[in-house]
């Protein structure tokens, strides 16, 4: 059996997973990236089951590094790693080859039109490239880590890309109107009064990534 992103380090959750997997002859754990809501339970579950942990380099729990194209086998078929940076630099998706399905991690979510893309310099360009990479693969269905399956992948990928490119255009327009504006001023120009105060720090980080991308395009 294979577990993709076993989730947070919550004791009853780890016990439930271990119980469900106790009858398996062999278990492999796969990680899309290192965020705690995805990878937190990995060490405890791997120790309990004696399972290897496959995933990207740089994630502490990983014992078997996967690069783009690397494969892991299970009774239900082959899972192939697809390097899809943007949400994080190391982010992987997993292609279920026999079903032409994609386990997407946080590349896209099951609902809405946006995911977190602000973690490192260059992340916005990487994210757009990753969406294009998945579109070129042409999955029949996408299973995000959060939310329901996306049964019309082409439409979903277009929706996430359109949202990101729409934000880029807003930032470009704001920079053109106020080239010397600081980040606080740009936040007001881009979001207006629609941004709740509690979300302002996260929005500022996301906006900074968009500004870097927009300025790179101008260069």
**What six digits make up the tokens of 24?**
């398996």
5, 37, 188, 212: the active-site residue:
37
101-132: b (≥16 Cβ within 10 Å) or e: bbbbbbbbbeeeeebbbbbeeebbbbbbebbe
Distance between CA atoms of 110 and 145, rounded to whole angstroms?
8
DSSP string, 3-60: EE------HHHHHHHHHHHTT-S--EEE-S---HHHHTTHHHHHHHHT--EEE-TT-T
Active site residue 75: no
- Cα 115 off chain centre by: 7
Distance between CA atoms of 217 and 155, rounded to whole angstroms?
26
Catalytic positions, written as ranges: 37
């Amino acid at each position: 059996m294979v577990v993709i992103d076993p989730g947070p380090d919550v004791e009853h959750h780890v016990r439930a997973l271990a119980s469900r997997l106790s009858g398996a002859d062999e278990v492999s754990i796969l990680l899309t990236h290192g965020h705690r809501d995805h990878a937190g339970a990995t060490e405890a579950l791997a120790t309990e089951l004696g399972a290897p942990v496959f995933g990207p380099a740089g994630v502490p729990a990983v014992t078997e590094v996967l690069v783009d194209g690397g494969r892991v086998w299970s009774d239900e078929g082959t899972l192939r790693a697809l390097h899809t940076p943007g949400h994080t630099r190391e982010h992987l998706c997993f292609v279920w080859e026999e079903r032409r399905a994609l386990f997407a991690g946080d590349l896209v979510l099951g609902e809405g039109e946006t995911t977190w893309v602000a973690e490192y310099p260059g992340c916005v360009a990487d994210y757009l490239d990753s969406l294009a990479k998945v579109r070129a693969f042409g999955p029949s269905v996408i299973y995000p880590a959060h939310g329901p399956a996306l049964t019309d992948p082409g439409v979903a990928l277009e929706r996430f890309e359109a949202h990101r490119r729409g934000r880029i255009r807003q930032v470009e327009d704001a920079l053109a109107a106020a080239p010397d504006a600081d980040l606080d001023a740009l936040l007001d120009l881009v979001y207006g009064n629609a941004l709740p105060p509690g979300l302002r720090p996260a929005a500022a980080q996301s906006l900074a990534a968009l500004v870097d991308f927009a300025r790179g395009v101008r260069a």
